[in-house]
Amino acid sequence: QVQLQESGGGLVQAGGSLRLSCAASGRTFSSYAMGWFRRAPGKEREFVSGMTSIGYNTYYADYADSVKGRFTISRDNAKNTVYLQMNSLEPEDTAVYYCAAVRPSSRTVAVGTSPRNYDYWGQGTQVTVSS
């Protein structure tokens, strides 16, 4: 069983930055595919970013078109933590952000962009961007 805990959300003005963190339990974290999703009020949960292992400590990352060039996903395997650096935030980025994880398998040869691709979820952290 993998447990995920997000942190780093908050209130920020448009144009500002936040860094979300997701701390994970588990001894084989480095091989897990990780993802960030968000759910805005009245909307479905949507993919933001993800990364999957393509070799020893080598990862491929992908982003939703709406955040490309503004958000960066990264991980520190020594700390069992994945990050989402969010720059140039816009009011449209306001949502609850969720961290997700899945063990390596045939499902993780590419970055999963559907919530169904992931087995483990955090509780979420609120990000609010004011205009």
Non-local (6+) Cβ contacts of 81 within 8 A are 21, 22, 23, 24, 75
- Give yes or no for residue 26 having a pLDDT over 80: no
Taking CB atoms within 8 Å and a gap of at least 24, the contacts of 64-70 are 64/113, 66/92, 67/93
Answer whether 22's CB lies under 8 Å from 38's CB.
no
Give the model's pLDDT for residue 28: 82
Higher pLDDT, 54 or 48: 48
Instruction: Check whether 107 has a pLDDT greater than 80.
Output: no
Which pLDDT score is estimated for 113?
94
Query: For residues 62 and 111, what is the distance between their CA atoms, to the nearest angstrom?
Result: 7
Rg of the chain on CA atoms, in Å: 14
- The whole-number pLDDT of residue 109 equals 82
Among the ranges given (50-54, 85-89, 104-108), the one the predictor scored with the smallest mean pLDDT: 104-108
Taking alpha carbons only, the member of 46, 54, 38, 49 closest to residue 114 is 46
Is the pLDDT at 1 greater than 90? The verdict is no
d(CA 58, CA 18): 25
Residue 100 has pLDDT above 80, yes or no: yes
Stretch among 18-27, 31-40, 106-115 having the lowest mean pLDDT: 106-115
What is the phi/psi pair of residue 55, to 5°? 165, 180
